[in-house]
Structure 1
């Protein structure tokens, strides 16, 4: 699944985003693209389950691809 991050990302955001995703699914694989402001997550969970984690750490996100 793919998420669009609605603010500009920098190096410090990668760890913060990864921790948020892992807090929902410890087995998830996370790939953050700072140029595109997107996060790809490989997980068996629904994308909506990750939205709360993103919001809790301060990111406004949208589901770009399921």
Structure 2
């Protein structure tokens, strides 16, 4: 992880009610929507942003 400069990992890719879940409650039981940020909790938006723009989170 140090070599790849990974400092955090999100391990709750669910729609659980607890903090850190990626999806809003009920998202996984249905058929989406899966696009955009509508089905995402704040933690999910953060993860999405880091995946889409990995260079933006680098600190040299």
Normalised by the length of structure 2, the TM-score is 0.32
RCO greater where, 1 or 2, for CA within 8 Å and sep 6 or more? 1
Judging by fraction of residues, say which structure has more strand: 1
Q: How high is the TM-score relative to the length of structure 1?
A: 0.30
Choose between structure 1 and 2: higher helix proportion.
1
Radius of gyration: which is bigger? 2
